Amino acid sequence: MNNVDRLQRLEAVEDIKHLKARYFRWVDTQQWQELRTLFVDDAILLFPETDPEPMPIGQFMRAVEAAFTGGVSIHHGHMAEIEILSLNTAQAIWAMEDRIYFPPGVPGIRGASEIHGAGHYHETYIRRDGIWLFKSMKLTRLRLEVKLAPVTVI
Amino acid sequence: MNNVDRLQRLEAVEDIKHLKARYFRWVDTQQWQELRTLFVDDAILLFPETDPEPMPIGQFMRAVEAAFTGGVSIHHGHMAEIEILSLNTAQAIWAMEDRIYFPPGVPGIRGASEIHGAGHYHETYIRRDGIWLFKSMKLTRLRLEVKLAPVTVI
Amino acid sequence: MNNVDRLQRLEAVEDIKHLKARYFRWVDTQQWQELRTLFVDDAILLFPETDPEPMPIGQFMRAVEAAFTGGVSIHHGHMAEIEILSLNTAQAIWAMEDRIYFPPGVPGIRGASEIHGAGHYHETYIRRDGIWLFKSMKLTRLRLEVKLAPVTVI
């Protein structure tokens, strides 16, 4: 187990589940400052569905806030596959489902009134000063369904 | 950790996950007597969407049975944030999604044929005689969608 | 605890969660060979909605591959109730939700274009050579909704 004892491994697994739970909750309650604290400063995020290039954390924070403000998002995670690689490094795959609802007359991302999708997060983590944080995050999709907002012609 | 050792903390976290799993399953399989055993006698529940006042457990049990009998409910919990506060007290936040289907011609709560929602449970727990039980439960909503049953005019 | 120490029990619970996570992911990413490795050779599976008789693993693998290839399936598990019965045996109940989408013009199981359901897995596990594997799996349903593909008449 690479110098991680059995109890430390179980604690790390639970801590990372707790980290991911706060990630989802703070996205959906739009607590952007709290959300930012879950990432290391050099974290890298990749959402190929919207951008083929990895983003630094600052760009991600701006994109998330722009995408969700004014709408309602619901992100749920499921079924962690967490591997503790060493005392301070880990990786995981999570299943996910997301729904985003935009208000009538105010189409959101891609001109949508609703988005419904599912896929997997592939993530790495670092423990700094005893706290587990996101080091990288990549989202792959099984499905992404976009319901277009009606177009108004004046 | 307030007199809780590391192994006890991990066991308490798993026990509380197990408690919440039985809560969801027994609601959806409508096993009301079993459901009742998961709460302490002085448990307090708050569902602001239906009642702005906290309810004692007896009132909650009557309300749940009245609301769901005859319909099909599906409640799923996700992403626990559990904090063990002492050997016998804990609190948690859970993400949730619920769906309720009422039979054709028999509208349910709010005249609905279907209800689909998501939000968070905010809960406290007490350990009595070695068993973790619900002490309080509050549900906050991100979204609650009610599909109205068709109205028949005679 | 039948000769299972407290740390072993927690490790077994986490290992079984990891097993079930790979089950769901490999079904949905259609990695059939990897999926097969999660079951013992004499595993028995029961899906009463499609077949009232239990199936051996070989029959299950053929049925899953035939049912999902060409479509997109999304299976999510929730809220484990895992019981470690001995050092090498365990059982669990899991809540689940599944969605299957078949391509336009190619109806899937039951002539469906989409299937959406929820229910519970009831499972047993065996640990062989230190690895937890599925010994049996049964799916019970709260609901199963089949959206029929449109019928084309020539």
What ipTM did this prediction achieve?
A: 0.93
Rank A63-67, B115-119, C64-68 by mean pLDDT and report only the highest.
B115-119
B37 pLDDT more than 90: yes
| Tokens at A129, concatenated | 């000063």
Across the range B70-95, mean pLDDT stands at 97
B89 pLDDT more than 70: yes
How far off is chain A from B91, nearest CA to CA, in Å?
Answer: 13
Contacts of A73 in chain B (CB under 8 A): 142
pLDDT score for A95: 98
User: Which residues, including other chains, have CB under 8 Å from residue A29's CB and lie 6 or more apart?
Assistant: B142
User: Which residues, including other chains, have CB under 8 Å from residue A61's CB and lie 6 or more apart?
Assistant: A32, A35, A36
Q: Are B86 and B2 in contact (CB under 8 A)?
A: yes
Q: Are A20 and B79 in contact (CB under 8 A)?
A: yes
**Whether A76 and B81 lie within 8 Å, measured CB to CB:** no
How far off is chain C from B100, nearest CA to CA, in Å?
Answer: 11
Among chain A, residues having any CB pair with chain B shorter than 8 Å are: 7, 10-11, 14, 17-18, 20-22, 24-25, 28-29, 72-74, 76-78, 99, 101
Across the range C112-124, mean pLDDT stands at 95
Chains that touch A (3 or more CB pairs under 8 A): B, C
Confidence of residue B94 (pLDDT cuts 50, 70, 90): very high
Of residues A134 and C69, which shows the higher confidence score? A134
| Tokens at B6, concatenated | 């590391």
pLDDT score for B2: 53
| Tokens at C56, concatenated | 């051996």
How far off is chain A from B92, nearest CA to CA, in Å?
Answer: 10
| Tokens at C72, concatenated | 């997109």
| Tokens at A136, concatenated | 């990288």
pLDDT score for A74: 98
pLDDT score for C150: 78
Distances (CA, A) of B43 to B88, B91, B127: 15, 14, 13
β partners of residue B116:
B99, B145
Confidence of residue A139 (pLDDT cuts 50, 70, 90): very high
pLDDT per residue as tens digits for the range A27-74: 999 999 999 999 999 999 999 988 899 999 999 999 999 999 889 999
Of residues A10, A72, A76, nearest to B143 (C-beta)? A72
Share of chain B above pLDDT 70, in %: 97
C93 pLDDT more than 70: yes
- What's the pTM? 0.95
Confidence of residue C111 (pLDDT cuts 50, 70, 90): confident
Domains of chain A: 6-148 (3.10.450.50)
Across the range C7-24, mean pLDDT stands at 98
Confidence of residue A3 (pLDDT cuts 50, 70, 90): low
Tokens 């996570």 belong to residue: C21
pLDDT score for C106: 79
pLDDT score for B3: 65
| Tokens at B109, concatenated | 């709560």
**Whether B11 and C6 lie within 8 Å, measured CB to CB:** yes
| Tokens at B135, concatenated | 């002490």
